[in-house]
Structure 1
Amino acid sequence: MAMAAEDIERLIREGIPDARVEITDLAGDGDHYAARVVSASFRGLPRIKQHQLVYGALGGRMGGALHALQLTTAAED
């Protein structure tokens, strides 16, 4: 079962309240997305920790309801 872009964005915002989130459906199939997440809470964290925060916000849906997510993170200036 595919996940809607709006659901991905909502989950990330709930888990990282100050995040700016942009979701792009890469294949038009509701199964392959790109996400750009910018948050002040990423400041000082290595990229892997930033990604772990996003995956944590998705609550274990990666590999299940959410098949593929190309993730880009950045700390808010």
Structure 2
Amino acid sequence: MVSANYIQDVISAGLACDFIQVNGDDGTHFDALIVSPEFSGRNRVQRHQLVYQALGDRMRAEIHALSMKTLSPEEWAQQQG
């Protein structure tokens, strides 16, 4: 079984993150808020592809579902007020 902290660590290791929070307590379903400068100028699909790339085969083997909110630092700053 995979933990939210493990997923968070894997994403952080493969993608520059200004902020990341992964939640999920059943070991297969997770939701993530990820803020990365690598998301600037990219659409949602491209951003999700970067996260999937960081996770590699874990998306197929260990994680059943991952819901993501992906923001650039600028978008994150706007949301924070």
TM range (shorter): 0.7 to 0.9
Q: Does 1:49 align with 2:34?
A: no
Aligned pairs (5 A) from 1:1-77:
2-25=1-24, 28-77=25-74
Deviation at 1:57? Answer: 0.3
Name structure 1 gaps, 5 residues minimum. Answer: none
Q: Which runs of 5+ in 2 are unaligned?
A: 75-81
- Separation in 1 of the partners of 2:38 and 2:16? 9
Shift of 1:72: 1.1
Deviations 1:4-29 (A, max 9, x none): 1111011111111234111111xx31
TM-score when scaled to structure 1?
0.86
Is the strand fraction higher in 1 or 2? 1
Q: Percent identity, please.
A: 36
Q: Report the TM-score when normalising by structure 2.
A: 0.83
Determine which structure has more spread, i.e. the larger CA radius of gyration: 2
Report the aligned-residue RMSD.
1.2
* Corresponding residue SS for 2:59: coil
Q: Give the number of the structure whose residues are more often helix, by fraction.
A: 2
Counterpart-to-counterpart distance in 2, 1:13 and 1:19: 9
Question: Separation in 2 of the partners of 1:8 and 1:24?
Answer: 9
User: Where in structure 1 do 4 or more consecutive aligned residues deviate above 6 Å?
Assistant: none
